[in-house]
Amino acid sequence: MQTASPTLDGWAVLDEPGEWEAFGRRVAGRDGWWESYLAIEGMHCAACTLTVEQALGEVPGVESVQVNGASGTARVVWTPHLSLPSAWLAALKRAGYGAVPAGDLLNSAPRMQAQRLMLWRWLVAGFCMMQVMMYAVPAYMAGPGEITPDIEALLRWASWVLTLPVVLFSCWPFFAAAWRDVRNGRVGMDVPVALGILIAFGASTAATFDPAGPLGKEVWYDSVTMFVFFLLSGRLLEQRLRDRTAGALEALMRRLPQTIERQEQDGEFRRVAVRRLAAGDLIRVLPGEVFPADGMVTTGETRVDEALLTGESRPLLRRKGEAVIAGSHNLSGMVHVRVERVGGETRYAGIVALMEQASMDKPHLAQVADRIASPFLLVVMAAAAVAGALWWSVDPGQALGVAVAVLIVTCPCALSLATPAATLAAAGALARKGVLVRRLQALESCASIDTVIFDKTGTVTEDRMGLVGTQVREGADRAQALALAGALSRHSLHPVSRAITAAAGDVGWTATHVTEIAGRGVQGNVGDDSVREARQLRLGSASFCGAPARQRDVQGIEVHLADEQGWLATFELDEATRQDAKPAVDALRELGLRVQLLSGDRGAAVKRLARRVGIEWAFGDCSPEDKLEHVRLAQQRGHLVAMVGDGVNDAPVLARADVSVAMGQAVPLAQAKSDFVVLGGNLQAVASLMHHARRTRYIVRENLAWAGIYNAVCVPLAALGYMPPWLAGLGMAASSLLVVANSARLARIR
């Protein structure tokens, strides 16, 4: 498997500082430190994760290493003053592993070569298994004395010859990995596998060469070939499923194009590498291509897909003078774009950084599983030795069969994959819906949340006024009154006039001779083609329009409309709520969650807004310290709190909450303190997050339960002699496969 890795000479190229940005970035706030990402080759189990972390962590200049076994990637924090990338590969090679820079994952040639080699090993094992099974059938079906000794010996020799390619070629990855672990003083999953294969093949070989010896009663060539075939089948299928689940994040992170057309000094467009772009360059982006940098459209118009970056699923129109962002897809037209930000300065790069950090995170259950994997394997090998010793006095051949079955039936891989496979699949699905997971551990916490607290300004509300009510005089039409007001309000830049204009939309009326009286309002003549004489209208304050005294307290801002007959209508304005605020609150309440609203605004305004969106508990006049205390008290009462906010004053309370969610327009400080980032500001994504976190917890528990029950049942059965080696191999392969397949259900959000 390591043959696909670059040589040490090839990695020497990566020691050049200009190459480091291709697979990493500078650590924010720490001069001289970098974080780089590697795709590790040769990892098969939890013990491999610990081995790789230790091998890289011992390299001088490497501060920390995080390895995710489900995605097969490593994050290395290092300083070039003491270490260079070529030293990492040397350390990995000494430990028996290979690696490629994670930035080169789009170059699939090495990976495809390794997959083809694995496929050939699987085909050889399958072909030989069928032939060996054909020779084993007579021995199983024939009665005593029906097969002569010479025919029995011939069948054994034929099976031995056919098993040799399986042991020498198909089993090579298991033997190489086992020898690597033993050489480094560790126990990985391939150690008991290799021991089981060698013991079964060695005992069968002894029986073939000496039929009259103590082991000559039975051979296990069929069990060896079936076990290898089943195990390779499981690993092939598992590899494909992991590409669909854990690989979902990788696909999202590696979507920028490799080349783009750039205008040169002679005015011609020529294709160049994206990494050669600089601010100020003019590029041409064709339909179907991905924008490689942030910039401004200078020529043409098109529709773009920004779903990954903003959560907006609908194609968005982009014309001359409008901004486009790296990572979005150009769907319809060719456009010229003036580059403004490239590389690590783009918004896309920030999103990739969040996703890569999240993919390296290990949930608590995964950390526990990794720690117990090696001790578990030691116990398994001890159990196999004890079972073999107890059976030896009964039948040496049966004793070896029991020991082999115990060795190969156990599967800590299923236990180790149970949590990371599920959480990575969930994180990939959420990312495609515009929700970035900054900490995988937060998914565990999110599933237990019982209280969701929203900040008001900028989270539930928009930065504008909105129409919340209309009163008209008797006999007047509400829609027509709003249209008349809209015709006048278009001639004023006052924020209240803008709110009326937005609420009225395309009115179809025309206002002429409009004058604006400071502090009072606007007046003018309003009419259309069907009206011979325009109506003289006034829009503004109550005194300006002769509005009657109200019988109730005014809760928001009121704007009045009058005609020649006097007062015509009153429009109530208040902070505009997001269109998805009420559906989001309703969805959270359907999940059984308590929803609250916190704000520094006046208490009356906060409670009024809460009623409009369906929030039962609302608290106003809250300073940042008050918000922090509110969350602390809720936690003291036993509640698990999720905080949703977007402002700089939300950073302390986001850090205090059990789970924190920052909206996409949040300031950087608020995002830095959050566990999740909702890119498009879609509040309904918060409810989707809560629901998907619960699904993730349920599937993780299913995975852990299956892994525990499988080992608890199968190990005793193998030790008691009720499970032949071939069936043990099938169970082991199926165990890991079932865990990954079950986790794949999370790759889609319902």
Q: Which sequence positions are flagged as catalytic? A: 455
**What is the C-alpha to C-alpha distance for residues 616 and 176, in angstroms, rounded to an integer?**
63
- Are residues 547 and 570 in contact, defined by beta-carbon separation less than 8 angstroms? yes
DSSP-derived 3-state class of residue 619: strand
**What is the C-alpha to C-alpha distance for residues 329 and 289, in angstroms, rounded to an integer?**
6
Residue recorded with tokens 């194609």: 315
DSSP-derived 3-state class of residue 280: coil
CA-nearest of 627, 635, 681 to 652 is: 627
- Are residues 24 and 37 in contact, defined by beta-carbon separation less than 8 angstroms? yes
Which residue(s) pair with 593 in the sheet? none
**What is the C-alpha to C-alpha distance for residues 47 and 190, in angstroms, rounded to an integer?**
10
Residue 406: how many CA atoms within 13 Å on its side-chain side?
Answer: 25
Neighbouring residues of 519: CB distance < 8 A, sequence distance ≥ 6: 541
**What is the C-alpha to C-alpha distance for residues 132 and 122, in angstroms, rounded to an integer?**
15
**What is the C-alpha to C-alpha distance for residues 174 and 192, in angstroms, rounded to an integer?**
10
CA-nearest of 71, 49, 369 to 188 is: 49
Cα–Cα–Cα angle for 207, 208, 211, nearest 5°? 60
Q: Amino acid identity, residue 533?
A: E
- Are residues 700 and 202 in contact, defined by beta-carbon separation less than 8 angstroms? no
- Are residues 678 and 311 in contact, defined by beta-carbon separation less than 8 angstroms? yes
Cα torsion angle, 423, 427, 429, 433, sign: positive
CA-nearest of 207, 200, 203, 189 to 225 is: 200
Cα-based distances in Å from 115 to 179, 207, 749: 22, 36, 30
* Phi then psi dihedrals of residue 437, to 5 deg: -95, 115
**What is the C-alpha to C-alpha distance for residues 747 and 247, in angstroms, rounded to an integer?**
10
Structure tokens at 427: 């994180």
